[in-house]
């Protein structure tokens, strides 16, 4: 493949035309994105990271809070969340815990399971989301990535997370939102990893593992003081002219 590959959501005015677009050359799969080695933009700051580690040396215990920043994480639908070893992900933590998304026993076909992430990007633009995932071969649940810039009122068309095929982790997947103005300076940016059961769920069958979910961005530019002063001066001049005309 020639050149990097990244995902760029398209939020057109018509919700029916909203779709997650995988751009540039090459095979359009998460594995290809990783193979391209696309880095997070230079000059970016970490807004929030979920590494799911409890830092107690035990990978079966974890943490749903962000290790930096202020983010929220909730299960979706009939899904349940648990923790397990993240061996193979890019997490360098001593206990390397991953988030497991699975369907409890008795969950019927057609029901949704997943995890919903929310974070504020106020003060930042050029937003990017990176994550590691593992889609176990025993799982028959297709999983998708979705994004919302209006706190869940509308969502991008689901983009499939293509598994490696051998049960290994796919790391450093990058969702590029730098061209999406609605992603930056947003108090309620949300994204989901969502699965739909094609058959009745088996007890504790893990549908998807996640690790190192990270949101980054660049500080929003601050207007130059001279530009602000000039704007105020022009407003004052306009006001003076209106006063003279009235008098």
Place of tokens 């730098």: 178
204-221 as b/e: b if 16+ CB within 10 A = ebbbbbbbbbbbbbbeee
Sheet of 189-196, strand order: 71-77, 112-119, 189-196, 143-148, 159-160
DSSP 123: T
Backbone φ, ψ for residue 2 (5° rounding): -115, 110
In DSSP terms, 99 is beta-bridged to 83, 210
Helices assigned H by DSSP within the chain: 30-36, 225-246
What pLDDT is attached to residue 14?
A: 29
What pLDDT is attached to residue 89?
A: 94
- CA 30, CA 169: separation in Å to the nearest integer? 11
SS3 of 201, please?
coil
CA distance readout (Å), 68 to 39, 73, 119, 177: 20, 14, 11, 20
Place of tokens 């001593």: 94
Residue-level pLDDT, tens digit, the chain, 247 residues: 222 223 444 333 323 222 332 322 222 233 333 333 445 565 689 999 999 998 888 888 899 999 888 899 998 876 678 899 999 999 998 889 999 987 665 555 556 778 999 999 999 999 999 999 987 766 556 788 999 999 999 998 888 887 666 778 999 999 999 988 799 999 999 999 987 665 554 445 667 899 999 999 999 987 665 554 445 455 554 554 554 555 5
Place of tokens 């050029």: 126
- Nearest CA-CA partner of 83 in 103, 59, 105: 59
CA distance readout (Å), 187 to 65, 84, 100, 178: 17, 31, 27, 17
pTM, entire model? 0.73
Q: Where are the beta strands (DSSP E) in 38-79?
A: 45-50, 71-77
Confirm if 197 and 105 have CB atoms less than 8 A apart. Answer: no
CA distance readout (Å), 243 to 210, 229, 232, 237: 63, 21, 16, 10
Question: Alpha-carbon torsion 218, 145, 85, 55, what sign?
Answer: positive
């Amino acid at each position: 493949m020639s050149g990097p590959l990244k995902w760029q959501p398209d939020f057109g005015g018509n919700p029916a035309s909203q779709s997650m677009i995988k751009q540039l050359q090459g095979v359009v799969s998460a594995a290809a994105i990783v193979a391209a080695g696309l880095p997070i933009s230079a000059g970016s700051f970490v807004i929030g990271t979920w590494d799911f580690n409890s830092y107690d040396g035990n990978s079966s215990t974890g943490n749903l809070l962000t290790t930096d920043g202020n983010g929220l994480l909730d299960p979706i639908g009939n899904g349940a969340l648990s923790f397990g070893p993240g061996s193979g992900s890019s997490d360098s933590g001593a206990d390397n815990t991953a988030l497991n998304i699975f369907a409890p026993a008795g969950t019927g076909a057609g029901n949704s399971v997943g995890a919903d992430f929310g974070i504020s990007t106020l003060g930042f633009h050029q937003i990017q989301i990176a994550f590691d995932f593992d889609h176990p071969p025993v799982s028959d649940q297709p999983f998708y990535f979705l994004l919302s810039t209006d706190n869940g009122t509308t969502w991008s068309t689901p983009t499939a997370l293509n598994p490696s095929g051998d049960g290994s982790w796919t790391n450093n997947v990058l969702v590029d939102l730098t061209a999406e103005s609605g992603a930056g300076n947003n108090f309620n940016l949300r994204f989901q990893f969502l699965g739909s059961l094609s058959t009745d769920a088996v007890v504790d069958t893990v549908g998807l593992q996640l690790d190192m979910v990270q949101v980054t961005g660049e500080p929003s530019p601050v207007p130059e003081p001279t530009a602000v002063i000039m704007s105020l001066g022009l407003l004052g001049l306009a006001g003076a002219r209106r006063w003279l005309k009235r008098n």
